[in-house]
Amino acid sequence: MTDVLAILLKITVMIFMAGSLLELGLRVNLTGALAGLRDVRFVTLSLLWAFVLCPALAYALTLIFPLTPSFAMGLILLSLAPCAPLLPMLADKARADLDYAATFMLLASAATVVYMPVMVPLLVKGLSVSAWTITKPMLALVLIPLLIGLAIQFRRRSAAIWIQPLLKRLTGVDTLLMVALVIIIYGKGFISSIGSWAIGAQVVFFFAVTAASYALGFGMPRNQKSVISLGICTRNVGAAMAPLLVATGVEKDTVVMVTLGIPMMFVASLTAARVFGARAGAASNRVEAHK
């Protein structure tokens, strides 16, 4: 029975990844997103935080906290996969620049496909998987669905508008099923993690990267700093799970650590979005008062 549930979980993870990226391609404001790619400062800081500083912090935390090798592996995998599909919703709540949110999502999705196959074998010790083995699911479940969605939107805008809400509902149902399977299979692991340093390490990771990426925005407008911070705070758990789908001998605690990032991400990102939104509202009120 456990083997059947594990197979179902892999299927739901693959549907979640492909569905989320296809849906992103169907709805993203491509003109605004491409315009943001010409902003050198935004692109540089996004890549720096997403693919250098986040993994560096996670690696440092594995040295500071007495984590088991399995938990440490899960934290590193999470750090290598920035930006969840819920970024636009959070950016709207934070009164951030939605075009730049689209830019960040495209940038993170494309870069993750190249970055993870290179970095996982280097940083994730004990995971028996090659770069090409990781590349295959990243191409099939991230890059190709994204390109298909963009192509449909570019060539058949009316079809994209019709398909996107249906796909969003399908992906939503799949996400609920995926979470249910995770709880059924790894529920005991979640409970046992309470007595470990796993939760503490994740709390420090999520709130540190959220606060630091915003504070060190180096003169960027508030609504762009919010995008980077929220994009860094959210994690593409499906992409973080991808290497575990194709590796052999994966410990349960590694999957527990990765999936533990889901509630942690929601708490940190929703808190940050409310704070950023309140700050943006207060700044807007001060401007109006001076008119």
Question: Do the Cβ atoms of 231 and 33 come closer than 8 Å?
Answer: no
Which token pair is 171?
């992906």
Q: Is the pLDDT of residue 138 over 80?
A: yes
Which token pair is 95?
């009164």
Q: Is the pLDDT of residue 246 over 90?
A: no
- What's the confidence (pLDDT) of residue 44? 94
Q: What are the tens digits of pLDDT across the range 175-219?
A: 889 888 888 888 887 877 777 889 999 999 999 999 999 998 878
Q: Is the pLDDT of residue 289 over 80?
A: no
For residue 128, the cross-strand partners are 248
- What's the confidence (pLDDT) of residue 219? 81
- What's the confidence (pLDDT) of residue 288? 54
- What's the confidence (pLDDT) of residue 286? 59
- What's the confidence (pLDDT) of residue 291? 55
Segments in the chain forming alpha helices (H): 2-27, 30-36, 40-48, 54-64, 69-79, 87-93, 98-123, 131-138, 144-155, 157-193, 198-215, 222-233, 237-246, 252-290
- What's the confidence (pLDDT) of residue 128? 73
The closest alpha carbon to 137, from 156, 154, 157, 120, belongs to: 120
**Which contiguous run of DSSP H or E holds residue 85?**
none
Residue 2: partners with Cβ closer than 8 Å, 6 or more residues away:
185
d(CA 219, CA 125): 38
Which token pair is 100?
């730049």
The closest alpha carbon to 142, from 248, 50, 236, 76, belongs to: 236
- What's the confidence (pLDDT) of residue 95? 93
The closest alpha carbon to 76, from 186, 198, 230, belongs to: 198
Q: Which of 3-12, 51-60, 257-266 has the lowest mean pLDDT?
A: 3-12
> b/e map of 223-245 (b: 16 or more CB within 10 Å)?
bbbbbbbbbbbbbbbbbbbbbbb
What CA–CA distances, in Å, run from 228 to 5, 175, 211, 212, 225? 36, 25, 11, 10, 5
| Domain definitions of the chain by residue range | 2-282
Question: Do the Cβ atoms of 124 and 243 come closer than 8 Å?
Answer: yes
The closest alpha carbon to 103, from 83, 119, 123, belongs to: 83
Q: What are the tens digits of pLDDT across the range 264-284?
A: 999 999 999 999 999 887 666
Q: How confident is the model at residue 137 (pLDDT cuts 50, 70, 90)?
A: confident
> b/e map of 96-128 (b: 16 or more CB within 10 Å)?
bbbbbbbbbbbbbbebbbebbbebbbebbeebe
Crossing angle of helices 98-123 and 144-155, in 10° steps, is 160
What is the average per-residue pLDDT within 6-30? 89
- What's the confidence (pLDDT) of residue 185? 84
- 3.30.1450.10, 3.40.50.720, 1.20.1530.20, 3.40.50.300: which CATH number matches 2-282? 1.20.1530.20
Instruction: Find where tokens 């762009």 sit.
Output: 224
d(CA 124, CA 246): 14
- Say what the pTM is: 0.89
- What's the confidence (pLDDT) of residue 244? 86
Instruction: Find where tokens 């709390």 sit.
Output: 203
Q: Is 187 left (phi over 0), alpha (psi -120 to 50) or beta?
A: alpha
